[in-house]
A and B are shown apart, each in its own frame.
Chain A
Amino acid sequence: NPFRYIADFLHLVSFLILILKIRKTRNCLGLSFRTQEIYLAVFCVRYIDLFMYFVSVYNTSMKLLYISSTVFIIYLMKFKKPYCLSYDSASDDFPHYKFIYTGAAVLALLVHTDLAPFELGWSYSIWLEALAIIPQLHMLQKIKDVENITSNYVGALGVYRFFYIVSWIYKYSLTGDVCWTSLLGGIVQTILYADFLYYYIISLKSGKGMSL
C-alpha cells in the first residue's frame, strides 16, 4: 500500500522540518509545547504494542523514530539553550488537560475498536492525536507568529493523515475492511489541520502585509 508509506514518510519528514527550523532560527517562537507533549503521549500510549507483538523491522524502527524525534523536539523546546529561552508559555495556554486529554477519553469511550484495555488505549491515542494540534492552533490565533511553523511543516503534518485516509479507502477496496475508529479520528484530524492551514495562511498574509 503505497499511500500508507507516503504518509509515514511525510510524518517523519515533519519532525525533521521542525527540528531543523528550531536549530536554524535558534528559537522556538510560536510553537506550542503542549501540542508536542500530547504527541509524545499519543506515541507512548499507542506504541505500548512494541512490548506486545512484532510486526516488522520497518514498523518497530518507525515507532522508535517517532518517539525519539518527539522527545528530541521536547528537549529542544524545554531544556536546550538558547532554544528553550524563547518558549512563550503565556501564549501556550490552551486548557489541554481539561479539553484534550479528557475530550479524547470521552471520544474513545464512544468510538473504539474494542473494550479490552489495550484496544481502548489504542483508540484513545487515535483521538488524542486527532485533537493534538488544537493548542498550536490556539497559539497561532493568539500571537500570529508563523516564523517557526513553516508551510512545509504544516503541509507535511496535515497531508500525512489525509494520505492515511486514502490508504484506508484503498485497503477497503481490496479487502472490505474498515476501522471506524481510525477513519473517524483521521477525518476529524484532517479537518482540524485544514482549519490550522487556513489560519496559518491568514497569519502569513497579515505578517507579510505589515512588513510591506
Chain B
Amino acid sequence: QYVKKMHDEL
C-alpha cells in the first residue's frame, strides 16, 4: 500500500 498512514492533522 502506497499510503501507509492517513495524516488527519493539518
Q: Which residues of A contact B (CB under 8 A)?
A: 4, 8, 11, 46, 49, 52-53, 55-56, 59, 62-63, 66, 113-114, 116, 118-119, 122, 164, 182
Whether the pair A49, B2 counts as a contact (CB closer than 8 A) is no
Residues of chain A within 8 A of B8, CB atoms compared: 55-56, 59
Tally the A-B contacts, defined by beta carbons under 8 Å.
Answer: 32
Q: Report the bound CA distance from A182 to B5 in whole Å.
A: 14
Q: Report the bound CA distance from A53 to B3 in whole Å.
A: 9
Whether the pair B10, A8 counts as a contact (CB closer than 8 A) is yes
Per DSSP, chain B at the interface is loop
Count of B residues near A, CB < 8 Å?
9
Least Cβ distance of A98 to chain B in Å? 28
Select A63's contact among B4, B6, B10, beta carbons within 8 Å: B10
Least Cβ distance of B1 to chain A in Å? 9
Least Cβ distance of A69 to chain B in Å? 12
Whether the pair A53, B9 counts as a contact (CB closer than 8 A) is no
Residues of chain A within 8 A of B2, CB atoms compared: 52, 116, 118
Whether the pair A118, B9 counts as a contact (CB closer than 8 A) is no
Residues of chain B within 8 A of A122, CB atoms compared: 7
Given A53-B3, A119-B4, A122-B7, 8 more contacts at CB 8 Å? A46-B7, A55-B8, A59-B8, A63-B10, A66-B10, A113-B4, A114-B4, A116-B4
Least Cβ distance of A58 to chain B in Å? 9
Whether the pair A59, B4 counts as a contact (CB closer than 8 A) is no
Which residue among B2, B3, B7, B8 has the maximum number of chain A CB atoms within 10 Å of its CB?
B7
Whether the pair B10, A59 counts as a contact (CB closer than 8 A) is yes
Q: Report the bound CA distance from A49 to B2 in whole Å.
A: 12
Residues of chain B within 8 A of A55, CB atoms compared: 6, 8
Residues of chain B within 8 A of A164, CB atoms compared: 9
